[in-house]
A and B are shown apart, each in its own frame.
Chain A
Amino acid sequence: MNFLFCSLTVLVMSILLICLSVRFKNICNALFLGSLIVASVLGLMAVFHVLISPVVEDLYLNIRMPLGEFYIGMDALSAFFLSAIIILFLISGIYGYGYLKTTEAKNLGFHYALYQFAFMAMMLVVVARNGILFLMAWEMVTLSSYFLITLHDERPEVTRAGHLFLLATHIAGFCLWLMFLIMASHSGSMNFDQMAACPFTPFLAGIIFILGLIGFGVKAGFIPLHIWLPHAHPAAPSHVSAVLSAVMIKIGIYGLMRVFCLVRDFPHWCAILLLLIGMISGVCGVLYALGQHEIKKLLAYHSIENIGIITLGLGIGLWGQIEHNSVIALIGYAGALLHVFNHAVFKGLLFLSAGSLIRSTHIGEIDRLGGLLKYLPWTGHLFLIGSLSICGLPLFNGFISEWLIFRGLFEGMFHLPMTGIILSSMGVIALVLMGGLAAACFAKAFGVMFLGNSRSIDNSLIKESPMSMCLPMAVLGVICVWIGFFPRSMVMFAFHAASVICSRPIPPEMGNVILSPLLMVIMILWVVVIITAILVFLKKKAMKVLPIQEGPTWGCGYSYMTGRMQYTASSFAESLLRVFRPVLGFKVSGVKPEGYFPKEAEVSSHVVEASEVFLFRPVFEFIKFLSGKLKRIQCGYTQLYLLYIFVFLLALLIWKMV
């Protein structure tokens, strides 16, 4: 706890110092890097402290704040999220320093200060033990993210994305205020420990659940509340999108988990709703991703997919908690938590390598790139590791967490009543479909960008990014492989955090249920590695004796192949999108060339974002219409506004008297 407090203090000091020395670029840089590293090390020490000592520590400072106290605490759940936040902020920060070093962005110092501010605010969200403190930290995260997203605000689409983000998150913030006020009025205090001690009626719990789902769901990016996400991620500079996608949207998940800690008496339909949202977000997220041809937008949609996977784990965990089956609850929650960490690592890696790619080529459109693996070896191979992890393939970390979530769903199938069996089966099928589609999507993205030949630019002019960018990415890549082969420590950490959510101890048979099968998985994976190594050795030996020839790719009889003739990302995705066309709005505009001597023609196709076009646009249009009507009372006279205030106060007074 003390370590954490020191870490927060270091961050606050560094923000002040950076703001003071914003004119001196070198001092700014040194301050930024130094404080980032010191704060992260201190924060990680706090996390380790929680891991080795099971005693929960709280810090209660008698700082008077409006409506509440400065009350922070650390348990395994907070520590788990803290570890993801700290690792990602540290690595993206170092990368961001390398990324921004050469660009002449204005106000770089303020950008660094805001980055530290977001870091501090996110740490504060996961350790806050008081509703008001939580909401203030939440607001700080929102505001600082807005300014981080709009670093390049000279571009109109960036400003637009920023506004959309601010609008969406404030609607969500409204729901959260309502939720905490209901909880506080029922339990009599804004402090979390008192809320947890107070029983809630199922009706009230249902209302709290709905408000929390909307409030936290907008930040997490549940479909159909996700509309800000695919705009904001591409607009932000890459190290910021990495942080946004890897940890910022996860604090929405943290919020839901914390609510599950505080309120226990949820009715059954809450779990059903969570599972359904998980399936819809996951499948639709990956389908939209498949239809995208801009790399960062594609990654943004994949964040929605992974949030769906996490929500599946969360839903089955909640169901287990409602049914008082602690095995299902623990496996479900632990799977969701481990996927939170894993997604933070591999999505961070993917966004950072996409940023490195865009920085080198100045192109983000997949269909215009190609053959970059030879020219960007670091970026390319790290992107490959990220892709393999995000598809949940064995040997990498995504597989471990998806395996846990699968296990949770299958346990639900064996132990839950009929509705539970049907929904967990649907969850399994949805998860499999997501896995298959994600594999197709990343085969497309990696294959088209990094393999084959260049499609538009001269690749020989492209230079690899500096080491200050490659090394942070490499660290994330190593974590992906490490969890893939040695998952034990992280799985146990996730189980400790899960036991905090459902406030039940980890039963001793958990070792047999989870760890020994996992050990066998790892053993088989080692068999794969060993046989591969032997065969590679044999093949190398044989290749020395046998003749090796080199030549161009076989053109099937056609000898004037150009880069433009290769299969593109659009054509790769077309066959899958055609299958899913009934569920996916797919718009084709333009005309095809016709006749024997066709003239120039243009055809373009894109996937329609259904919830944006059919759900939010009408709602926003309606709000615009209403506010147009309300304009009449707003005519710009200060006297009139004073009159309004007076009338309002009078009304309050009368209401109070009656």
Chain B
Amino acid sequence: MQKNLNIYRLRYMLILIHFLIVLIFSPLLLGIIGKTKAFFAGRWGAPLLQPYYDIFKLFSKGNVYSVTTTWIFQAAPLLSFVCILVSCLVLPFGGIHAPCFFWGDVLLFAGLYTLARFVMVIAALDTGSSFEGMGAAREATFSCLAECCLFLNFIVLALLSKKLILSQMVGGDLSVSWWTDGPALILVGGSYFMVLLTENARIPVDDPQTHLELTMIHEARVLDHSGWDFAFILYGSAIKLFVLGGLLVDVLLPLDHQPVLIQMGEFFVGMVILAMGIGCVESSMARLRLNRIPQLLTGSFILALVGFLVVLIRGV
């Protein structure tokens, strides 16, 4: 009985540690991306900790609500924030194991993101503004396509690892087979990187810096949010970048059979490199036209499909 209790206590501790890592480090990635872009533009740029200041400032502000809106508009940012935060529970961060792992957790991981997106889309429609409707429609369109690519990536990973547990599909045993499964993993990594850019509203899919309504996807949905709600949205998108980026780093870095501290160090270095990579892509490319984005995602799908074929031909 005592032992059982201790296991439970340990699990709660693990969950708390996971939440703390995500909450503390996620805005830093945005800061790094900003610095990288400033470096390419030849500027000094905003301080590395600017995203923290922004979120803190928003939490101390009051809200403005449109009279058109209902409770959905006020609840959606909060709920989507919680869904994104909780999704990190099934993902390992380098040496830190996932506190929850079970057969089929991948599906819950994806399901939580879908729920977060759904509530944000209906919250955008709640304002009755046509710009936000436009953003919601585009979001629904592109995420629907991106999710197919994401699942094809999951299928390849599941076939490689013969498991349906996210924390064992990425990292773990996979690193042993990195030398044999290299081609498939690289293809999956490439495909997943495009999904990552789409899901997190980065260039070339969407530009988080502009506020020109007609070109936007994610930003257009949140025009009417303010104060705490907007803080939740901003923080949520930072966490989303951290969690989905962490998944990519887990897939690409062979981390097994090393002391935990070194694994963690490698993971965080990997995250920093990823953020700088996103910054490089954003500085060197322009945004794609909206009707080009499905083609980009088709490209991502085809990459994953080639990976799938490679796995099948190699023999399962």
Contact assessment for B125 and A567 in the assembled complex, using a CB-CB cutoff below 8 Å: yes
Q: Which B residues are in CB contact (< 8 Å) with A437?
A: 144
> Whole-angstrom distance between the alpha carbons of A536 and B79 in the complex?
9
Contact across chains for A579 and B115 when beta carbons are under 8 A apart = no
Which of B82, B125, B143, B294 is in CB contact (< 8 Å) with A452? B125
Give the one of B15, B63, B131, B137 with max A CB within 10 A: B137
Asked whether A373 lies within 8 Å of B70 as measured between CB atoms, the reply is yes
Q: Is A588's beta carbon under 8 Å from chain B? A: no
Cβ-defined contact, A517 with B131, below 8 A: no
Q: How far is the CA of A550 from the CA of B69 in the complex (A)?
A: 10
Asked if B108 lies at the interface with its beta carbon under 8 angstroms from chain A, I say yes
Question: Are the CB atoms of B114 and A535 closer together than 8 Å?
Answer: no
- Among the interface residues B66, B100, B141, B308, which one has the most CB atoms of the partner chain A within 10 A? B141
Find residues 538-564 in chain A having any chain B CB closer than 8 Å to their own CB: 539, 542-543, 546-556, 561, 563
B38 to chain A, nearest CB (A): 29
- Chain A contacts for B82, CB-based, 8 A: 528, 531-532, 535
Flag if A579 contacts B111 (CB, 8 Å): no
The interface residues of chain B lying within 8 Å CB-to-CB of A554 are: 66, 129, 223-224
User: What 3 pairs between A and B have smallest CB-CB spacing?
Assistant: A567-B133, A447-B125, A436-B144
Which residues of B lie under 8 Å from residue A429 when comparing CB positions? Answer: 148, 151-152, 155
Distance (whole angstroms) from the CB of B26 to the closest CB of chain A: 16
Residues from chain A with a CB closer than 8 A to the CB of B114 are 391-393, 435-436, 439
Can you identify 18 A-B contacts, CB atoms within 8 angstroms? A370-B128, A393-B111, A394-B112, A403-B108, A428-B155, A439-B118, A443-B118, A443-B125, A517-B102, A517-B104, A520-B105, A524-B86, A524-B89, A539-B228, A543-B228, A548-B62, A548-B65, A549-B63
CB under 8 Å from chain A, chain B span 61-104: 61-70, 72, 75, 78-79, 81-83, 85-86, 89-90, 100, 102-104
CB pair A451–B72 under 8 Å, yes or no, is yes
Report Cα–Cα, A418/B314, bound state, in Å: 12
| Interface flags, A388-427, vs B, CB<8A=1, else 0 | 1001111100010001001100100110001001100100
Q: Which residues of A, 433-469, contact B by the 8 Å Cβ criterion?
A: 433, 435-437, 439-440, 443-444, 446-448, 451-453
Contact B122 A447 (CB under 8 A): yes
Which of these binds chain A: B157-165, B239-247, B269-277? B157-165
Given that A535-B78, A535-B82 are contacting pairs, would A524 and B104 also be in contact in the complex, using a CB cutoff of 8 Å? no
Most buried by A among B105, B115, B294, B312: B115
Whether the pair B104, A407 counts as a contact (CB closer than 8 A) is yes
Whether A374 sits at the interface, judged by CB under 8 Å, is yes
B residues less than 8 Å from A371 (CB atoms)? 68, 128
B167 CB contacts on chain A under 8 angstroms: none
Residues of A near B127 (CB, < 8 A) are 452, 553
B62 touches A546 (CB 8 A): yes
Q: Which of A62-70, A311-319, A570-578, A592-600 contacts B (4 or more CB under 8 A)?
A: A570-578
> Is there an interface contact between B147 and A435, defined as CB atoms closer than 8 Å?
yes
**Given A440-B141, A551-B67, CB of A523 within 8 Å of CB of B100:** yes
Q: Which residues of A contact B5 (CB under 8 A)?
A: none
Beyond known contacts A543-B228, A576-B144, A579-B141: 7 more, CB 8 A cutoff: A371-B128, A373-B70, A432-B147, A520-B105, A556-B223, A572-B125, A573-B137
The answer to the question of A210 belonging to the interface, with a C-beta cut-off of 8 Å to chain B, is: no
Nearest-CB residue, chain B, relative to A388: B118
* Interchain CB contact under 8 A, A520 and B64: no
**Is A527 interfacial (CB-CB < 8 Å)?**
yes
A 126-157 contacts with B by CB, 8 A: none
Closest to B112 in A: A394
Q: Which A residues touch B15, using CB under 8 A? A: 527
A-facing residues in B136-191 (Cβ within 8 Å): 136-138, 140-141, 143-145, 147-148, 151-152, 155, 158-159, 162, 164
How many positions in chain B have a CB within 8 Å of any CB in the partner chain?
Answer: 78
State whether A406 touches B104 (Cβ < 8 A): yes
B266 interface residue, CB < 8 Å from A? no
Most chain A CB atoms below 10 A, which of B69, B125, B162: B125
B312:A406 contact, CB within 8 angstroms: no
Q: Is the CB of A566 within 8 A of B129?
A: yes
Instruction: Find out whether the CB atom of B108 lies under 8 angstroms from the CB atom of A521.
Output: yes
Contact among B81, B112, B126 for A451, CB-based, below 8 A:
B126
- A605 at the A/B interface (Cβ < 8 Å)? no
Q: Which residue of A lies closest to B220 (CB)?
A: A556
Min CB distance A492 to B, Å, is 17
Query: B112 to A443, Cβ gap below 8 A?
Result: no
Q: A539: nearest residue on chain B (CB-CB)?
A: B228
Please give, as numbers and ranges, the residues of chain A lying within 8 Å of B213 by CB-CB distance: 556
Residue of B nearest to A447 (CB): B125
Q: Tell me which residues across on chain B come within 8 A of A532, comparing CB atoms.
A: 78-79, 82
In the assembled complex, A194 has its CB within 8 A of some CB on chain B: no
Q: Does B201 contact A (CB under 8 A)?
A: no
Interface flag for A2 (CB, 8 Å): no
**Given A394-B111, A428-B151; A553-B128 close (CB under 8 Å):** yes
Verify A546–B104 contact, CB threshold 8 A.
Answer: no
Report how many A-B pairs have Cβ atoms within 8 Å: 235
CB distance from B55 to the nearest CB of A (A): 14
With contact pairs A535-B82, A539-B78 given, residues A451 and B144 touching in the complex (Cβ less than 8 Å): no
Q: Are B121 and A447 in contact (CB under 8 A)?
A: yes
Nearest B residue to A399, CB-CB: B111
B70 A451 Cβ-Cβ under 8 A: yes
Asked if A565 CB lies within 8 Å of chain B CBs, one says: yes
Contact B148 A393 (CB under 8 A): no
Contact A421 B141 (CB under 8 A): no
A26 at the A/B interface (Cβ < 8 Å)? no
Query: Given that A393-B111, A429-B148 are known contacts, is A549 also in contact with B62, CB under 8 Å in the complex?
Result: yes
Contact present for B131 and A556 (CB under 8 Å): yes
Please report the C-alpha to C-alpha distance between residue A527 and residue B84 in the assembled complex, in whole angstroms.
12
What distance in Å separates the Cβ of A634 from its nearest Cβ neighbour in chain B? 54
Select one of B62, B117, B128 contacting A439, CB under 8 A: B117
Closest Cβ of chain B to A233, distance in Å, is 24
Q: A433 — which chain B residues lie within 8 A by C-beta?
A: 144, 147-148
Closest Cβ neighbor of A410 among chain B residues: B164
Inter-chain CA distance A532–B79, complex, in Å, is 6
A550, B130: Cβ atoms closer than 8 Å: no
Given A421-B159, A532-B78, verify A579-B129 contact (CB < 8 Å): no
- Given A436-B147, A452-B126, the answer on whether A531 and B107 have CB atoms closer than 8 Å is no
Confirm or deny: A107 has a beta carbon within 8 angstroms of a beta carbon on chain B: no
Asked whether any CB of chain B lies closer than 8 Å to the CB of A516, the reply is yes
Which of B64, B128, B143 has the most chain A CB within a 10 Å cutoff? B128
- With a CB–CB cut-off of 8 A, which chain A residues contact B110? 432
CB–CB A566/B128 < 8 A: yes
- Within 8 Å CB of B159, what residues of A? 413, 421
Cross-chain contact B137 with A571 (CB below 8 angstroms): yes
Taking CB atoms, residues of chain B closer than 8 Å to A542 are: 59, 228
Least Cβ–Cβ distance between B18 and chain A, in angstroms: 11
Contacts of B108 in A (CB 8 A): 394, 403, 521, 524
Q: Could you tell me the distance between the alpha carbons of A295 and B63 in the complex, rounded to whole angstroms?
A: 35
Of residues B130, B227, B294, which shows the largest number of chain A Cβ atoms within 10 Å of its Cβ? B130
In the bound complex, do residue B62 and residue A447 qualify as a contact, i.e. CB atoms below 8 Å apart? no
State the CA gap A542–B229 with chains docked (Å): 12
Q: Is B285 an interface residue (CB 8 A)?
A: no
Given A407-B104, A521-B108, A451:B63 Cβ within 8 A: no
What per-residue 1/0 map shows which CB atoms of A50-90 lie under 8 Å from chain B? 00000000000000000000000000000000000000000
B192-232 interface with A by 8 A CB criterion: 213, 223-224, 227-228
A369 to nearest B CB, angstroms? 12
Question: Is A647 on the interface with B (CB-CB < 8 A)?
Answer: no
B144 and A440: CB pair below 8 A? yes
State whether B130 touches A566 (Cβ < 8 A). yes
User: Measured between alpha carbons, how far is A407 from B164 in the docked complex, in Å?
Assistant: 9
Cα-based distance from A547 to B226 in the complex (angstroms):
12
Closest to A513 in B: B103
Query: CA A520 – CA B162 in complex, angstroms?
Result: 20
B41 close to A (CB within 8 Å): no
Q: Do B140 and A439 touch across chains, with their CB atoms under 8 A apart? A: yes
Q: Which residues of A have CB within 8 Å of B30?
A: none
